[in-house]
Amino acid sequence: MEYYGNSKTPQGASKATTRLRTFTSDTKISLQMSRLRSYESPLKKKYDVGKYDLAENYVFQESMQELIPKSTPEYVDKGEHYVERIMRALHHFKQCALIGPSGTGKTHIVYLVAEIAGLPLWEINCGLQTTSFDLFGRYVGLGKENWVDGQIVSWCRNGGILYLDEANMMKQDVATRLNPLLDTRGHIVLNEKDNEIIPRHPRGFVVISMNPFSIEFAGTKPLNAAFRRRMNAWITFDYLSTGANVNKDEVVLIRERGGVSKKVALQMVNVAAQLRYNYKRGEIPYAPSVGDIINWAKLVSDGTGVLDAAEETIISTTSDDMTTQETVRRIVKSAVEHGSGQAPIQEIG
């Protein structure tokens, strides 16, 4: 079995080979370990996070290499230094929480941080009906004789970043089992496997993300209190542009990634900013993310009219409900009529 890692080796040596011994039950296996030269992502400089080496001395299985994200698009912020703050929190506390409305780039930034750090990413959406079997593991085979680790257990043994998306939607039984993992005990107990205790890997980081719990955010739940206490750092995300505050970097991003003119990009961001305002007030169920506006822009740059392209993208993504769609359509039309000027912010309702 070949293992690859990214820990430091003596200067000039790009790859040093070490033989390690490990024991599984009563079998002694000799493993071939390969240590690669320290991983230095060029993105570290760009996001000014050179001093955090989360993967220092980390050696992992070659098969986990594919869990390290690649080519994550640029992340833009308004000077909040989100990448640096997440890496700092992980460096000091090994875990942190990201909180913010839907589409503010929480998932995007976790991918970026994993890529910059050179760490495998284990992503779990807690809102989906993921079973305890998927997360912790199960016996398989005709006689149920072979144990297969679930995702959380694999992360616990191997390290990397465990990303729990929509953490407030997590089922209570799963949250309870994660508690010892997230506090000073730092282990998980596999009661389905003779109470095996698996210590958290020294390079095992946790990021949770969620939408803020408030009456304005339909469908959100408060985070389980025990879970909340265990998170050492909370980082709050928001849209680049909301209401009358239109951020010029968001316009540039849409122009560059969507391939439209500055004028059209500005119109689109105006629309998105208005819809985000309505979403935050609980008037519509969803508001466009940067990604949604980019999709809209791509259709326009391909020759589709601004309104037609909006139908297929931001109008339909907001809701299935015809009345809501009509509201969004009205806002799009009003922004288009105002050219690149900001239409007056409208309240719905």
Ligand X SMILES: Nc1ncnc2c1ncn2[C@@H]1O[C@H](COP(=O)(O)OP(=O)(O)OP(=O)(O)O)[C@@H](O)[C@H]1O
Please give the residue ranges that form the binding site for ligand X (CB under 6 A): 73, 75-77, 100, 102-108, 165, 211, 240, 289-291
Residue 209: CB minimum distance to Mg ion, A: 6
Stretch 288-347 residues interacting with Mg ion (CB under 5 A): none
154: partner contacted, choices ligand X, Mg ion, none (Cβ within 5-8 A by kind): none
| Interface pick for Mg ion out of 7, 107, 130, 340 (rule CB under 5 A) | 107
Cβ closest to Mg ion, residue 58 vs residue 111 = 111
Query: Closest CB to Mg ion belongs to which residue?
Result: 107
Measured between alpha carbons, how far is 101 from 79 in angstroms, rounded to an integer? 18
Which CB sits closer to Mg ion, 209 or 241? 209
3-state secondary structure 199-246: ECCCCEEEEEEECCCCCCCCCCCCCCHHHHHHCCCEEECCCCCECCEC
Instruction: Pick the closer one to ligand X by CB: 105 or 159.
Output: 105
Q: What are phi and psi of 149, to 5 degrees?
A: -65, 140
Please report whether residue 125 would count as binding Mg ion according to CB under 5 A. Answer: no
* Residue 3 φ then ψ, to 5°: -115, 140
Amino acid at 178: L
Q: Which among Mg ion, ligand X, none contacts residue 102 (Cβ within 5 to 8 A by kind)?
A: ligand X
77 binds, among ligand X, Mg ion, none (CB under 5 to 8 A by kind): ligand X
Residue 240 binding: pick among Mg ion, ligand X, none (C-beta 5-8 Å cut-off by kind):
ligand X
Beta bridge partners of 124: 164
The residue among 36 and 76 lying less far from ligand X, judged by its C-beta, is: 76
| Residue 103 interaction partner, one of ligand X, Mg ion, none, beta carbon < 5-8 Å per kind | ligand X
Pick one of ligand X, Mg ion, none as the site partner of residue 130 (Cβ within 5 to 8 A by kind).
none
Report, in Å, the least distance between residue 123 CB and Mg ion: 9
Name the residue among 317, 312, 290 with its Cα closest to residue 302.
312
C-alpha closest to that of 267 among 321, 306, 223 = 306
Nearer of residues 107 and 304 to Mg ion, judged by Cβ: 107
Minimal distance, residue 225 CB to ligand X, in Å: 21
Classify residue 128 by its DSSP letter. S
Q: Measured from the CB of residue 173, what is the shortest distance to ligand X in angstroms? A: 23
Of 181, 190, 206, nearest to 148 by C-alpha is 190
C-alpha of 331 from chain center? 30
Q: Which of 119, 47, 39, 54 is nearest to 90 (CA)?
A: 54
- The piece of 28-36, 102-110, 124-132, 142-150 that touches Mg ion (CB under 5 A) is 102-110
Q: Which amino acid is at 14?
A: S
Residue 290 touches which member of Mg ion, ligand X, none, C-beta under 5-8 Å by kind: ligand X
Strands (E), 15-79: 15-24, 27-36, 59-61
User: Using only C-alpha atoms, what is the Rg of the chain?
Assistant: 23
List residues near Mg ion by CB under 5 A: 107
